Structures are given as structure tokens and as C-alpha cells.
Amino acid sequence: MASSLGWRACALFPMNHCGVFLKAVRSNGLSLFPWGHSPWRGTRSFLDPEMKAFLEENTEVTTSGSLTPEIQLRLLTPRCKFWWQKADLWPYSEPYWAIYWPGGQALSRYLLDNPGVVGGKSVLDIGSGCGAAAIAAKMSGASRVLANDIDPIAGVAITLNCELNQLDPFPILTKNILDLEQDNWDLIVLGDMFYKEDLADSLHQWLKNCFWTHRTRVLIGDPGRPQFSGHSIQHQLHKVVEYSLPEPTRKENNGLTTSTVWDFQP
């Protein structure tokens, strides 16, 4: 039986016939604030009791099937009821945070294996999702971490995942960071964000500005989506490392077999 969560296929290879599913919040840059919170909060403030209970009931804590078995994450798995139910039964915005995407896996693996990349440095994780790359940066000694995802429910998930990994909380920003004034970061990481052409163009320009304004290093994780491999940013990338994806990740991602970390050098 195939998963009914059609937004997963849309994010991997967007198709016109995916309109039956909820509109992706990441695709339009809108934020949803169902609890009336400020978009910039410490981790603890995301633990809305009702949402926390909902996520704990409808996700599974797992360490298997990814490149980073040392990181525990709450994810949607085939053992969760919403994996099989129709997508429109999910009561919130599409749960992109509930899948450990292959670009994020590669970034997280690289940061765990190379703590010198983040040790003592400030790190911004854009499109943080489940928070794995931010968690990996914190585990590897980053002095300052900010997780950014426009979906506030991702903030709850990141909070729970921090707790699973016995980490002190780090701040979470639930605004479209591309619309904000650029801050000075030692390192920006982003995985699986080049899945729409217009978003890819906006990211490319924003990252160039960060590089030239603050000399910020940028690492990008991607498994070879056409919106990334065919984008002009390819002329400004240096391959850092390529990982072979575990079989469960391959099956969940339409047979993609590898994921690569790129160093952006405009």
C-alpha cells in the first residue's frame, strides 16, 4: 500500500495534479500562528500542551533508517495512522517536518562527523523541519544555533526532538527569513529547500547576499532534485561529500540513492 500523504511526492517532484492536498506553507512563504505566539521564541515556549499531545500521539520516536542513528526524532512512519490516511484528514499544514528528508540527513551526518565545522560557531538552519541539522550542530559544539521554519508546528516538533536528545533548547524562528534583514552567521545550513524554481531563485539571491555581506559559509544538502541540479547555483558549488542513502530512505524518496553536501562559493 502506498502512503496517502501526497504532499511528500509533491515536495520531491512537484506535479500539477497535487492540488487535492493542502497548500504547502513553504511554497508561499506564509506563516500560520494558531496559538497567537510571536514568531521568534525560545524552544520552551513552543510546547503548547494540546499540540504536544497530538504530536506525541501521532508520531513515532525513531533512530533507524537514516544516516544519523545517533539522533532521535519524532517522525511520521508507516506505523503511524496518518501515514496511511487521506492527506486532507491531517488537521494542520502539511507536515514536512515529520519526514527526515535526504538533504537534511546528509547535512546532519556531515556536521556530526566534522565537529570542527561548527564548533564554537553560530549556525542558522533554514527550513529546519524536524530540526535534525540544528540538533547535529548543537551536538557538535556550535555556540549559537537558530532553527528557522515558517511552520510553527515544526517548532513544536523541534522542541520535542531537542528533549529527546537531551539538548538545552535553542531559539526557533517561524517567519520567512528571506523577508528579514540578514544577520551575521558563521555558518548557514539548509537541506531539501530547492524544490521549487521560484524558491530556489529567492534562496540563491539571499544566500549570495549573506556570503558577500558577512562572508558567511553556506552548506547545502540535496539528493539531486531537478530544481537544484538544473539551477544556475550549480556553477557556484563545491562538492564536500556524497552519502549513499539507507534503503528505507530510498524507498520513501522515490528511489533516490544518494545525497550530497555542497559548499556554496559565489
Is this structure's pTM higher than 0.95?
Answer: no
- pLDDT score at 25: 28
Whether the CB-CB separation of 24 and 134 falls below 8 Å is answered with no
Within 10 A of 147 (CB to CB), how many other CB atoms are there?
A: 31
- pLDDT score at 45: 54
**Cα-to-chain-centroid distance, residue 161:** 13
Q: Report the alpha-carbon distance of residue 106 to residue 24 in Å, rounded.
A: 24
Return the ∠ at Cα 70 (arms to 68 and 72), rounded to 5°: 90
Q: Report the alpha-carbon distance of residue 20 to residue 193 in Å, rounded.
A: 22
Hey, which residues does 218 pair with through a beta bridge?
A: 188, 264
Q: Report the alpha-carbon distance of residue 37 to residue 245 in Å, rounded.
A: 37
- pLDDT score at 84: 87
State how far the alpha carbon of 166 is from the alpha carbons of 73, 161, 198, 251, in Å. 12, 9, 37, 30
State how far the alpha carbon of 132 is from the alpha carbons of 11, 67, 123, 191, 192, in Å. 18, 11, 13, 10, 12
Tell me the residue type at 7: W
- pLDDT score at 40: 45
pLDDT (tens digit, 0 to 9) for every residue of the chain, 266 residues total?
334 444 454 444 333 222 212 233 233 332 332 323 334 445 445 678 888 999 999 999 999 999 999 999 999 999 999 888 888 888 888 899 999 999 999 999 999 999 999 999 999 999 999 999 999 999 999 999 999 999 999 999 999 999 999 998 899 999 999 998 889 999 999 999 999 999 999 999 999 999 999 999 999 999 999 999 999 999 999 999 999 999 999 998 888 999 999 999 99
Between 3.40.50.150, 3.40.50.970, 3.40.50.1000, 2.60.40.1230, what CATH number should domain 46-264 receive?
A: 3.40.50.150
**Can you list the positions of beta strands (E) in 27-150?**
40-41, 60-62, 73-75, 122-126, 144-148
- pLDDT score at 49: 87
